[in-house]
Amino acid sequence: MGARWLTDEQYEAHQRKFGKVSLAVPVAKAVLVPVKRATRSELDAELQRQIEASQLPQPRYDVAYLVGSRCRADVLFDAGRLVVEVQGGCHVIRAKAHADIRKAAESLLQGWRLLPVDKDSIYDGSALKWIMQLLKGA
């Protein structure tokens, strides 16, 4: 869920539809609305293009993979128990960095190898090379 700011008219219509909220402290005119999951990034698409052009086994994309968690893998190779995590700009946010650390630890504890890749490693071909090396050794 995300917050969306409303005009006075929208806020009044929302209150008529869902009821007024009585709070001792005035609140901002915002409501929680469902937020659509972001589409796959340009980096995800480029890595997928490289993987599909190679002789690698077919992976799964944007899939939940950890037991007891909603964590999703950008790219998942079942055969080598390899998860490739594309690190975009949001991964520098402190809360996201903490979530990434938890995801990496949970992945290891459940027997998955997690390979983080970034823009440079995708575009210079290093990411694909690392994936090939890790799957070859599996």
Question: What per-residue confidence (pLDDT) applies to 98?
Answer: 82
Dist. CA 78–CA 60, nearest whole Å: 8
| Higher-pLDDT residue of 90, 15 | 15
pTM over 0.85: no
Q: What is the pLDDT of residue 33?
A: 46
Beta bridge partners of 117: 86
Report pLDDT for 100. Answer: 85
Hey, what domains does the chain have and what are their CATH numbers?
2-33 (no CATH), 42-136 (3.40.960.10)
pLDDT digits (tens, 9 = 90+) for 50-66: 999 999 999 999 999 99
Residue 131: what pLDDT?
97
**pLDDT higher than 50, residue 122:** yes
